[in-house]
Amino acid sequence: MRNITILFSLLVCMFSCSVQETGDRDVLLYGKRDSVSFSVNYALLPESTKAADVNETLVEDVNLYLFNELGDLVYYSYSEGSSSVETSVYENMDYSLYALVNAHARIYVRSVDELQTLRYSITDYPEMVSADGSVLMSGSLEAVRLSGRADVTVNLTRCVAKIVLKCDFSGLNPDVGIVADEVSLKNLPLSVKPFAQSKVDDRDDTSSSTIVENPSVETLQQGIVFYQYENMQGLLQEGNLDQTKKWWPEENPYSEICSYVEMKGHYSSSRKDGAITYRFYLGKDMVADYSVERNRQYTVVLCFNGDGAVEENTWRVDNSEIVDLVTSVELLPESHKFTEIGATLQLSATVQPLTAANKTLQWSTSDEKVATVDQ
């Protein structure tokens, strides 16, 4: 995913809804104060492939912060769309610019430390992508001299990760079919630190899921797109090389804070039938890492082969509702030749496999003039 840049060009203009420093600093240390004005322009790079209802480059509003090298707030403004800044700075002092984009609210802080520990929260997943399709973004430019500058550039980073889930059913056996009923993203963070690495620390800070119901095979092949806030849980199973072991039991706290994908569907074959659930944790790999990093796209392809791992029966593959189908019926005796009219014969039958869910047999005759059946 690409960065977005904000271009600040020095123009003289007015601005409202702002806070700025009025006290003087030591002129011997930092030199004289200069008045500077910024007209804030947004130069957006081309959009990447995205979900139809998400605009990954849309800038709706900006919280703009200017801090001096002591970490004190020199200037703050909140604007919708384009904005202008007017303040004064010391010619020999370093300043840092921070921009919080698409928060859809004024978020005021007093120091850079307060901003770097700020956690932006929502109450439910849909708020992660606003009604206008925008997502939360942040960026900063550290230690710059503003006096006499023609312009400055701040790179923006999306605070969300983009997860693209694709399914490849081409490797399944000819008699095996899997129909997806719903695909969901679980343990979604409901908050993020815009200016620091962020992760979920408590299950109360997660949303249960976002669900896509009854996706078509074509949709699954092209990819279902999800967005979530950063969740940097890290390398938690160092040394593990087995995908089937990348999971946590329910009693482990990580099971409630690490993000994962779940696909529920219906499985059918000549031998088995029923509901089945596939799950896997997100991360930088599929065996040990659980980090979901902001401003990254994770493209995950579920490749189904053979029998679709229906026999696995792990956290990854929940086959508890799969039942065995009857594959054959063994008749004893297999054949019999009657020599007398009115003779009787007791037949027995064994259903295979013995674990078949429905072993009910219905006996009948093809010609009642020749033989009758008494059950």
Please write the tens of the pLDDT for every residue from 220-251: 999 999 999 999 999 999 999 998 899 999 99
Average pLDDT rounded to a whole number, residues 76-101: 82
Least-confidence region, from 13-17, 68-72, 213-217:
13-17
| C-alpha separations of 43 from 1, 102, 121, 140 in Å | 16, 16, 27, 15
* pLDDT at 317 > cutoff 80: yes
Average confidence score pLDDT of the chain:
83
Least confident segment among 152-156, 176-180, 271-275: 152-156
The pLDDT assigned to 199 comes to 95
List the beta bridge partners of residue 267. 178, 274
Task: Judge whether 43 and 85 are in contact, CB under 8 Å.
Answer: no
Residue 84 pLDDT: 63
Q: Give the torsion through C-alpha atoms of 144, 145, 150, 153, to 10 deg.
A: 10
Residue whose pair of structure tokens reads 């206008």 in the numeric block: 132
pLDDT digits 0-9 by tens, 256-269:
999 999 999 999 99
pLDDT score recorded for residue 342: 79
Contact call for residues 319 and 276 (beta carbons, < 8 A): yes
What's residue 11's pLDDT? Answer: 26
Sheet containing 177-189: which strands, arranged edge to edge? 206-213, 177-189, 260-268, 272-281, 317-324
Q: pLDDT higher for 277 or 30?
A: 277
pLDDT number for residue 2: 36
Question: Which pLDDT score, from 0 to 100, does residue 290 have?
Answer: 94
What average pLDDT does range 149-176 have in this prediction? 87
pLDDT score for 19: 43
Confidence band of 45 (pLDDT split at 50, 70, 90):
very low
Q: What is the pLDDT of residues 330-372, one digit of tens each?
A: 888 877 787 788 788 788 888 888 888 888 888 888 888 777 8
C-alpha 246/C-alpha 236 separation (Å) is 9
What pLDDT is recorded for position 330?
86
Q: Could you tell me whether strands 4-10 and 95-101 are parallel, antiparallel, or unpaired per DSSP bridges? A: unpaired
What's the pLDDT at 366? 83
Choose between 90 and 81: higher pLDDT.
90
pLDDT of 149 higher than 80: no
Q: Where in the chain is the domain with CATH 2.60.40?
A: 4-158, 160-324
Q: Which of 51, 80, 52 is nearest to 64 (CA)?
A: 80
Is 50 exceeded by the pLDDT of residue 285?
yes
- On the question of pLDDT at 20 being above 60, the answer is no
pLDDT tens track for 22-44? 444 455 566 666 666 555 555 44
Question: How far is the C-alpha of 162 from the C-alpha of 302, rounded, in Å?
Answer: 17
Q: What percent of the chain has pLDDT over 70?
A: 83
pLDDT the model gives residue 23: 46
CA 361 distance to own-chain centroid: 48
Domain 4-158 has CATH 2.60.40: yes
Of the options 1.10.530, 2.60.40, 2.40.128, 3.40.50, the CATH number for the domain spanning 160-324:
2.60.40
